[in-house]
Amino acid sequence: MPQSDVTGMIDSALRMTGVSGMFNILLTVVCIWLSWRGLQALRLESYLKDPKSGQAKLLLILVSIALGYLVARFVQDYMTWSGQIRLLF
């Protein structure tokens, strides 16, 4: 195999890895935003001592990040698994 073919294959693999990484970042940010919007619909104020405090806002941000990350990870895993199913046949 000529050197240029190997270099082209490596460049292609690196580019695909970069695109995958960018997609995963965007997916995670979108899922965090969606979880933030979804948590806004809940009436969490009744469960907090001071819902206007910085601590309450920090809690909402951290819960949004955790929930958004879990949803994004599920979508990523599902896409990976569905791609692997075709290898069975």
Residue with tokens 């001592």: 49
**26-to-47, 57, 59, 68, 88 alpha-carbon distances in Å:** 32, 23, 23, 12, 30
Tell me if 70 sits within 8 A of 33, measured CB to CB.
no
Q: What is the pLDDT of residues 22-81, one digit of tens each?
A: 999 999 999 999 999 999 998 887 888 888 899 999 999 999 999 999 999 999 999 999
Note if the pTM is more than 0.95. Answer: no
Task: Please give the Cα distance from 78 to 81 (Å, whole number).
Answer: 5
